Structure 1
Amino acid sequence: MHFVLGDITKMDTDAIVNAAASDLKPCDGICRAIFRAADTKKLMEACGKIGRGRIGEAVITPSCGLACKYIVHAVGAGWYADGRQADLLFADCYRHALQAAFLYHCKSVAVPLMFSGDFHLPRPKAIRIAGDVIRAFEKTHPGMEIFLVLYNKSIYEMAVKILAQTEENDHGHESVR
């Protein structure tokens, strides 16, 4: 996994991942940024042809003018603190998004930290879930290059710190949490 501080809409990867609502229409956060950077009309038409996405699933559209080839829309829902069930749902969003990119023969994919803003998933929890799923996916799909794209410096630094700690734990080192 590569950490990137920047704008996911500028990533020149085979696919980028969008944190989408089930109606696949523009919503706040990263979703709105992606719709604004793309040809909004074409992207809305492409999403309209799909209709709706199921929570925890992912659907793919063309990039509609972005540098990438595809946009993978991972459908999430608000976080309501119901523990393990919510964690599994958000993990499914990442897992299904990466699997969809793989099925479209993508060799590189840019993933944002999903659902930690407008969907209210606590940011440290969102970082751990993203890191766990991405690392597990990389182990079974070593040919795919995955970029975790973070849009501001404080979130980037938090992600690097948290995921460095979990990386140490993965290798049997003591946790500093």
Structure 2
Amino acid sequence: MEIRAVQGDITRQDVDAVVNAANNAMRGGGGVDGAIHRVGGPAVLADCIARFPDGLATGDAGWTTAGNLPARWVIHTVGPDRRAGQTDRSLLVSCYRRSLEVADELGATSIAFPLISAGVYAWPKSDAVRAAVETLRTTPTQVREARIVAFDEATYALVEKAITSPDPG
């Protein structure tokens, strides 16, 4: 799989599936979640309510329509919230692994990820980048292209460095 760093807006990625850093309730929120719901429109929320009436567990992933997004699907995953005491790194790794598994179930060959849990959920950015790159490199998948979309230049530089380094740790 080719892993690429992209600086920009995840809602503008023309890929099979866009990953949403969702909350447990699966009803929209702030940050990436809010942007995906705003651009995707009401169909994304309606599908979340239908598919996930009880929400989704931290570390798990599931899919919905992408609504008005250029992608075909949104893969929602719930990252660990360090502010709430969720410090188990395996939950963060599970977000990437489960998202790839869902992508495989859908037949998606291209996927765009945000940096899960590195925003309002306060995961240290450098470790969030390492977890993303390591997991994407080591998880068996049919996905051919995975993008890690960074909103700002500093995060993009961290992601690009981790991707081009033989060992992101």
Q: Normalising by structure 2, what TM-score? A: 0.90
> Is residue 74 of structure 1 aligned with residue 77 of structure 2?
yes
Take 1:117 and 1:161, find their aligned partners in 2: how far apart are those partners?
19
Structure 1 letter corresponding to 2:45? M
Residue equivalent to 2:151: 151
1:118 equivalent among 100, 117, 120: 120
Given the alignment of the two structures, is residue 62 of structure 1 paired with residue 69 of structure 2, yes or no? Answer: no
Name the SS for the 2:47 alignment partner. helix
Say if 2:115 and 2:132, in contact at 8 Å, map to a contact too: yes
Task: Name the aligned partner's letter for residue 132 of structure 1.
Answer: E
1:162 is matched with which residue? 162
Measure, in 2, the Cα distance between the counterparts of 1:81 and 1:35: 24
Match in the other structure for 2:45: 44
Structure 1 counterpart SS, 2:57: coil
Q: How many residues align?
A: 165
Worse-matched range after superposition: 23-32 or 73-82: 73-82
- Tell me which structure has the larger Cα radius of gyration: 1
How far apart in 1 are the matches of 2:127 and 2:93?
11
Structure 1 match to 2:17:
15
Cα distance change on mapping 1:152 and 1:47 into 2, 3 Å: same
Matches within 5 A, 1:121-136: 121-136=123-138
CA contact (8 A) 1:127 1:163 kept: no
Aligned counterparts of 2:156 and 2:8: Cα–Cα separation in 1: 9
- Segments of 4+ moved more than 4 angstroms: 80-83
Q: Supply the AA of the counterpart residue of 2:89.
A: D
CA deviation digits over 1:83-132, x for unaligned, max 9? 9x611010001110111011100010011111101101010010000011
Paired residue for 1:173?
none
Q: Give the partner amino acid of 1:79.
A: R
* 2:62–2:102 CA contact under 8 A, matched in 1: yes
State the SS of the aligned residue for 1:59. strand
**Matches of 1:141 and 1:75 in 2, distance apart?**
20
Partner secondary structure for residue 99 of structure 1: helix
Residues 106/142 of structure 1: CA separation in 2 closer, same or farther (3 Å cut): closer
Output the aligned Cα RMSD.
Answer: 2.0
Contact 1:128 1:163 in 2 (8 A): no
Name 1:107's counterpart in structure 2: 109
Classify 1:111/1:143 alpha carbon distance in 2 versus 1 (closer, same or farther; 3 Å).
Answer: closer
Amino acid paired to 1:75: V
